[in-house]
Every structure is written in structure tokens, then in C-alpha cells.
């Protein structure tokens, strides 16, 4: 049994991408945030100093109050994998291999030194394996006591995918797939081949896929990936260099196989790029569902918890209850590395307290919040640029509903910031899903991004089956489902080219003000629905505070900004 003074565990993820920190007290997540929220660097990988500072200050704690610091990886196992992998690059890559090994050893030594410098030399540091951190985040935040758990991503230490079983707060691994064979690395390699940034642009590939023909290059992929007898898969590493290189994920053989060279970031997207994206998504789904079938074969239970970076593949997620034997699904709001800050801390807690009663950790709003007074003070500092007025929500919501129906784009800021990559109603841009020009407008002049990118609808929880072919609740916007045929022409701004939408279901308990807005929109617009996208511009992080929200509002063609109870408009100079 863990003997601790204050019952505070700090979880940390950093060093690769999506660094974050989380604070746990007696099994309750009392705060969590990504470091990028404070630094403004997308997918910031650096040690989460600012996140830790906020967690301590906002809970009136000091470093001496922390009993355990839990880290989301096992450094020794990861160094072992790196040492063995990079040596496969051959004699001429030997010098580069040594550099990679030494750099990683130095980074982990610096990590431990940093933790001890902050929390003292006697602080207990708990190193939790990468995929156990993923599995724990999904399982311990789920409503299930006994469930299958599957984690799929690029790579942790050695593992790239894990099938596990959760029972009475204990996680047992059942089967693993090891590096370099990885669905996540496969998807990232083709993300790079298509001209997008790996570990960031995968969702662009997923958004591009519906514009292509998924059977175009299926025969080519037979040379790249194949099934194994145990339900897993193997990659043909002749086409990939990621095992020993940090600069290139693929080599020239990949272009030779497909008959065209890799796309550069500024080059036009052509039909063969779209066809490749579509085929990649199809291949990913084929092997992903073989993995889920294997999970059910090993533990035939109706419940599935999904985690790892690949759990952001909403297109595949939306088919799980149709194409597998699992009847219900739980995916937490931040299933990639950032969420593992929560996962490793919860794993340490429940491993040392196996009989502890499970605590409800389903709320995604875990970041900083600001009072109306703080907001007003910042608005007063910005009075040369903006005009504002205070309204109670009973008056504000009908007003904003009418503005949305009239074609205005709204920045919506309230309460605690969401944890993870998805805007779930507290740092959102809202617009009319029925406006046929809205998708183009928001992409071009608000988000300033690629025009093919789809937008997500928020919908009242109890109305979801009327408009979408999907029965499950989707509180964290991580499943792509089909819009019912009869509604597609009425919802052009949120219906993708293939008739799909990545939905978020909203209940009154989950988000009172957003639910009331959806109710009002039902009266005013005919649909209990609103287009929702994250409150940020291209290549920027989601807005953290009122000051950044105002700056973002002034830097694009957004029409109205809502800062909790304040309605803000731009002054015409």
C-alpha cells in the first residue's frame, strides 16, 4: 500500500509531442493541461514547467505537497529499443546512430534531474510504461469495471499496440505488437509522404481520404503490410527508414512502388494524393478491425476502451460497434500522449490502491478558468479595439442564437479549458450548420486553413439519432458517423463529402449553457445543432485566456466574441 502524506500525484508526459501535466488527489483528476496551451507552440514536447506551475498555484500547493511524480514512459526500456533499432541502419549510419542514442540518454538524465530539482532529491519517481499509461487513461476514466482495452499508436518503448483486459482496477496485458511493426508509424509515414507533418497532420489525411477512391492502391499495400497468424500485422521495412532515422520516415522505394514521388508541403493536392489517402485509411481500418476482433476473441466482453494516438482516427472509431462485436465504446477526450499524463498518475494510484473505489473522471474541462472580473479588466485594457456589454446567460443565449442563424461566426469562451485537442464548448468557434457558404468561409477567412477540412457539429444528446446513423453517445467528438440522407442537404456546413460528420453529443449535465444554446437554435433554426471548431487560427494553439481570445478575435473575420457573460464586438475605426 502506498504511504503518502498528502495523496497528491503529479503525472507528466513530455519529450516527444503533446507534453502535459496532471494532478491527481485520491484518484480524482483535479487539473490537467497541455504545455502548448501556455507556450503557444503546437504539440510542444518540452518539460511542462508552466503546466506544473499552474497546477500548483491554482490548487494552493507547493512542490513539497507532491508525494509522487509519475512519468508516462520507462526510459530504460525505451533506450534499449533505440539502441537496438538505430544500429540496423548499417555502417554508414553508425555515427548518426550514436548521436541518437546519446541524445536520448542525455534527455532522460536531464528529465530526472529536472524533477529532482523541482521536488527534491527524495521525491518518488514512478516510471510507467508508455502503453500502460495509455491503457490506464482510457480504463480508469471509463464507466466500466470489466472491459477490453486496446491501445494503438506509433511506438512507446517496444510496444506499438497492446490488447489488455481491465478488471476491478487491474490491467492485464493479453497480446502486444512490437516495433517496428506499427499502424501509427505506417499512418505517420504516409502523412509525411503526402506532404503533411507527422504527429500533427494525420487528421488532415483522414479529412482528405473521402475525396479519393480507397481501392486505387490496395494492391500496392500488399507489399507493405501483411497479417500474422495471431491477429496482428507486420510491415515490410524495405520502404521505411524511421527505425534508424529521426529525419526521414520513408525512402525512395515508396515512391517507386506507387509511381510518384512524395508531395512537398506547398504543392497542389492532386487526385492521386487523395486516392492514396483514401487507400491508406482503408488499409488502416482493415488491420485495426483485425486487432479488435483479436481482442474480442481473447476476452469476449461487450465493452471496449480505446486509447493511444490512433484513437483520434474518428473515421475508424465510428464503425467499431458496426464492424466489431463490441457493443459499447469509451474513448477519453485526449487519448494520445498528452492524456498519458493522467494515465500514468492514475495507474500509479490504482496499482498501489487496488481496492480503492473508482472515482468519476469523465469531465474533460480540467484547465484554467477566469472570473468575470478578470475578463472585464482585460476588456477595459482593449477598449480602443472592442466594444462590450454584460448579459445574463438567460438573455445572452437567445441573442447569440439569433446571430448564428443570421450567418455570424461566434467565438465562445467560458469556464475551464478543455483538456486535449478537441474544443468541446469552452474554447469554440460556433456557426450555422445550415449555411451552405459557412464551411468555405470559416476555413478561408476564420481558420485560414485548407478548404477540404471538415467541421464538427454539436447536437443535443437526446436528438442525435434523428439526424445521425449512430446510437452511442459521443461526448468528446471522437467518432465520425453518417448524417442521415434526408438531412444532408439541410446541413451542408457540417456534412463532409462522403456524408459523414464528427459529432459531439451534448447533455444539460455535461454543458448547461451549450445545451441551452442548442435548445434555442432548435427553435430558431430548426435543428438542435451548431457547427463547432476549436478557437484558434491556423498553426496556432487553442486560446487559453481572455487576452488571447481577444487578440485572435481581432486577427480574423469573426463577427462576435462571447467571453462568458460579455458580448464583444470590434470597433469600426
What's the average model confidence in pLDDT over 70-74?
A: 97
523-571 per-position pLDDT tens digit: 999 999 999 999 999 889 999 999 999 999 999 999 999 999 999 999 9
Among residues 297, 330, 363, the one where a domain terminates is 330
Enter the C-alpha cell of residue 218.
490496395
| Residues β-bridged to residue 365 | 418
pLDDT computed for residue 94 by the predictor: 56
Q: What is the dihedral of CA 325, 330, 336, 341, to 10 degrees?
A: -140
Rounded Cα gap, residues 331 and 326, in angstroms: 13
pTM over 0.85: yes
Domains held by the chain: number: 3
One domain, residues 36 and 109: yes
Residues 21 and 111 in one domain: yes
Determine how many CB atoms are found less than 10 A away from the CB of residue 190: 27
**Residue range 500-513: average pLDDT?**
97
- The proportion of the chain whose per-residue pLDDT surpasses 70, expressed as a percent, equals 97
Half-sphere exposure of 190 (CA within 13 A, CB side): 30
Q: What is the per-residue pLDDT for 96?
A: 66
- Give the strand pairing for 479-482 and 529-534: unpaired
pLDDT above 50: residue 12: yes
Q: What percent of the chain has pLDDT over 90?
A: 87
Alpha helix (H) residue ranges in 367-433: 372-381, 393-405
> For residue 85, what are the contacts with CB-CB under 8 A and spacing of at least 6?
179, 180, 243, 244
Q: 99-108, 249-258, 340-349: which range is least confident on average?
A: 99-108
Helix axis angle for 130-140 and 340-352, nearest 10°, is: 80
Q: How many residues does the chain have?
A: 573
DSSP states along 133-172: HHHHHHHHTSS-SEEEEEEE-S-SSSEEEEEEEEETTEEE
| CA 444 to mean position of chain CA atoms | 23
- Residue 248 confidence class, pLDDT cut points 50, 70, 90: confident
Task: With beta carbons less than 8 A apart as the criterion, state whether 430 and 410 touch.
Answer: yes
Q: How confident is the model at residue 86 (pLDDT cuts 50, 70, 90)?
A: confident
Domain match, 252 and 390 both: no
DSSP string, 264-291: PTTSPP-HHHHHHHHHHHHHHHHHHHHH
SS3 365: strand
Give the three cell numbers for residue 119.
Answer: 521536488
pLDDT given at position 5: 58
Q: What is the tens place of the pLDDT at every residue in 334-392?
A: 999 999 999 999 999 999 999 999 999 999 999 999 999 999 999 999 999 999 999 99
Shared domain check, 109 and 256: no
Going by C-alpha positions, the residue among 121, 6, 72, 108 that lies closest to residue 307 is 72
> What is the pLDDT at residue 92?
46
For residues 504-509, average pLDDT: 97
Same domain for 290 and 319 = yes
Spatial neighbors of 459 by CB under 8 A, at least 6 apart, are 467, 468, 503, 504, 505, 506, 518, 528, 529
Task: Check residue 462 and give its pLDDT.
Answer: 97
Mean pLDDT value across residues 501-512: 97
- DSSP designation for 444: I
The dihedral through the CA atoms of 118, 123, 128, 133 has a sign that is negative
Tens of pLDDT, residue by residue over 180-220, are 999 999 999 999 999 999 988 899 999 999 999 999 999 99
Q: What is the DSSP string of 445-512?
A: IIS---TT---EEEEEGGGHHHHBS--S--TTS-EEEEBPHHHHTT-TTT--TTSEEEEEEE-TTT-H
Q: Which three cell numbers stand for residue 19?
A: 507534453
Distance of alpha carbon 556 from alpha carbon 426, whole angstroms: 19
Residue 478 lies in a domain: yes
65 within domain boundaries: yes
- How much is the average pLDDT of 2-28? 87
pLDDT for res 93: 57
Residues 128 and 203 in one domain: no
- Closest Cα to residue 67, out of 126, 152, 144, 136? 126
**Residue 532 sits in which domain range?**
372-570
pLDDT: which is higher, 46 or 86: 46
Domain-embedded: residue 163:
no
Could you tell me if residue 154 is inside a domain? no
CA atoms within 13 A on the CB side of 33: 26
3-class SS shares of the chain: helix, strand, coil, % to 5: 40, 20, 40
Of 450 and 41, the one with more pLDDT: 41
Mean pLDDT score across all residues of the chain: 94
Mutual angle of helices 372-381 and 546-554, in 10-degree steps: 40
Four-residue CA torsion sign, 333, 335, 337, 342? positive
Nearest to 411 by CA among 396, 430, 439, 426: 430
Q: What is the structure's pLDDT at 376?
A: 98
Under DSSP, is residue 387 helix (H, G, I), strand (E, B) or coil?
Answer: strand
Copy the grid coordinates of residue 260.
Answer: 510518384
Q: What is the C-alpha separation between 20 and 332, in angstroms, rounded?
A: 15
- The answer on 546 and 406 residing in a single domain is yes
Q: Rounded CA gap, 3 and 62, in Å? A: 19
Q: Note whether 163 and 86 are within 8 A (CB).
A: no
Determine the Cα angle at 25 with ends 22 and 28, to 5°: 75
* Predicted pLDDT of residue 572: 80
Query: Between these two residues, 297 and 266, which has the higher pLDDT value?
Result: 297
DSSP 331: -
Q: Grid coordinates in use for 161?
A: 499496440
pLDDT at 147: 98
Task: Mean pLDDT check: name the lowest of 143-152, 286-295, 449-458, 535-544.
Answer: 449-458
Angle at 16 between CA 14 and CA 17, to 5 degrees: 80
Same structural domain for residues 528 and 406? Answer: yes
Chain center to CA of 82: 26
Q: What is the CATH number of the domain that holds 235?
A: 3.30.420.40
Question: Could you tell me which of 401, 490, 406, 494 has the C-alpha nearest to residue 442?
Answer: 494
| Range in 16-25, 402-411, 435-444, 497-506 the model is least confident about | 435-444
In a domain, 173, yes or no: no
Here the CATH number for the domain that contains residue 492 is 3.90.870.20
| 60 plus 86 within the same structural domain | yes
341 and 394 co-located in one domain: no
Q: Are residues 345 and 320 in the same domain?
A: no
Please check whether residue 146 lies inside any domain of the structure. Answer: no
Residues 392 and 348 in one domain: no
**DSSP-derived 3-state class of residue 375:** helix
Q: What is the pLDDT of residues 143-154, one digit of tens each?
A: 999 999 999 999
The distance of Cα 426 from the centroid of its chain, to the nearest Å, equals: 16
Amino acid at each position: 500500500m502506498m504511504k503518502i502524506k498528502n495523496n497528491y500525484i503529479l503525472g507528466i508526459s513530455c519529450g516527444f509531442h503533446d507534453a502535459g501535466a496532471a494532478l491527481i488527489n485520491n484518484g480524482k483528476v483535479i487539473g490537467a493541461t497541455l504545455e502548448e496551451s501556455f507556450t503557444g507552440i503546437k504539440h510542444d514536447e518540452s518539460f511542462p514547467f508552466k503546466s506544473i506551475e499552474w497546477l500548483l498555484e491554482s490548487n494552493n500547493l507547493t512542490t513539497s505537497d507532491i508525494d509522487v511524480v509519475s512519468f508516462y514512459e520507462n526510459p530504460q526500456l525505451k533506450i534499449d529499443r533505440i539502441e537496438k533499432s538505430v544500429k540496423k541502419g548499417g555502417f554508414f549510419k553508425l555515427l548518426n546512430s550514436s548521436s541518437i542514442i546519446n541524445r536520448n540518454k542525455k534527455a532522460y538524465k536531464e528529465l530526472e534531474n529536472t524533477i529532482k530539482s523541482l521536488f527534491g532529491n527524495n521525491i518518488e519517481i514512478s516510471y510507467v510504461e508508455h502503453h500502460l499509461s495509455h491503457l490506464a487513461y482510457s480504463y480508469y476514466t471509463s464507466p466500466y469495471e470489466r472491459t477490453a482495452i486496446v491501445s494503438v499508436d506509433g511506438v512507446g518503448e517496444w510496444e506499438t499496440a497492446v490488447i489488455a483486459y481491465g478488471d476491478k482496477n487491474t490491467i492485464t496485458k493479453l497480446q502486444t505488437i512490437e516495433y517496428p511493426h506499427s499502424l501509427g508509424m505506417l499512418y505517420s509515414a504516409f502523412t509525411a509522404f503526402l506532404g503533411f507533418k507527422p504527429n500533427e497532420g494525420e487528421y488532415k489525411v483522414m479529412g482528405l481520404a473521402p475525396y479519393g477512391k480507397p481501392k486505387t492502391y490496395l494492391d500496392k499495400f500488399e507489399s507493405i503490410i501483411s497479417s500474422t497468424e495471431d491477429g496482428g500485422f507486420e510491415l515490410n521495412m524495405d520502404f521505411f527508414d524511421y527505425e534508424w532515422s529521426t529525419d526521414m520516415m520513408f525512402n525512395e522505394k515508396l515512391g517507386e512502388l506507387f509511381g510518384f514521388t512524395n508531395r512537398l508541403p506547398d504543392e497542389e493536392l492532386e487526385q492521386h494524393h487523395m486516392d492514396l489517402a483514401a487507400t491508406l485509411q482503408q488499409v488502416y481500418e482493415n488491420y485495426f478491425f483485425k486487432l479488435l476482433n483479436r481482442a474480442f476473441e481473447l476476452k469476449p466482453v461487450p465493452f471496449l476502451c480505446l486509447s493511444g494516438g490512433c484513437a483520434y482516427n474518428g473515421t475508424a472509431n465510428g464503425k467499431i460497434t458496426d464492424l466489431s462485436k463490441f457493443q459499447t465504446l469509451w474513448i477519453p477526450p485526449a487519448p494520445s500522449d498528452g492524456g498519458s499524463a493522467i494515465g500514468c498518475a492514475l495507474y500509479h494510484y490504482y496499482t498501489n490502491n487496488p481496492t480503492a473505489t473508482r472515482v468519476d473522471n469523465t469531465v474533460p474541462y480540467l484547465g484554467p478558468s477566469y472570473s468575470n472580473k478578470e475578463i472585464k479588466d482585460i476588456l477595459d485594457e482593449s477598449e480602443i479595439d472592442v466594444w462590450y456589454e454584460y448579459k445574463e446567460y438567460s438573455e445572452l443565449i437567445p441573442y447569440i442564437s439569433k446571430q448564428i442563424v443570421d450567418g455570424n461566426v461566434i467565438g465562445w469562451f467560458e469556464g475551464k479549458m478543455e483538456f486535449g485537442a478537441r474544443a468541446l464548448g469552452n474554447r469554440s468557434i460556433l456557426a450555422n450548420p445550415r449555411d451552405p457558404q459557412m464551411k468555405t468561409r470559416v476555413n478561408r477567412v476564420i481558420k485560414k486553413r485548407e478548404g477540404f477540412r471538415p467541421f464538427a457539429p454539436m447536437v443535443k444528446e437526446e436528438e442525435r439519432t434523428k439526424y445521425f446513423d449512430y446510437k452511442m453517445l459521443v461526448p468528446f467528438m471522437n467518432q465520425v458517423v453518417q448524417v442521415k440522407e434526408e438531412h444532408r442537404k439541410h446541413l451542408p456546413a457540417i456534412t463532409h463529402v462522403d456524408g459523414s460528420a464528427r459529432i459531439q453529443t451534448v447533455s444539460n449535465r455535461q454543458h448547461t449553457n451549450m445545451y441551452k444554446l442548442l435548445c434555442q437554435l432548435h427553435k430558431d433554426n430548426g435543428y438542435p445543432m451548431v457547427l463547432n471548431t476549436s478557437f484558434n487560427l491556423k498553426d496556432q494553439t487553442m486560446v487559453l485566456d481572455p487576452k488571447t481570445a481577444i487578440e485572435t478575435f481581432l486577427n480574423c473575420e469573426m463577427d462576435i466574441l462571447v467571453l462568458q457573460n460579455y458580448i464583444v464586438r470590434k470597433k469600426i475605426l
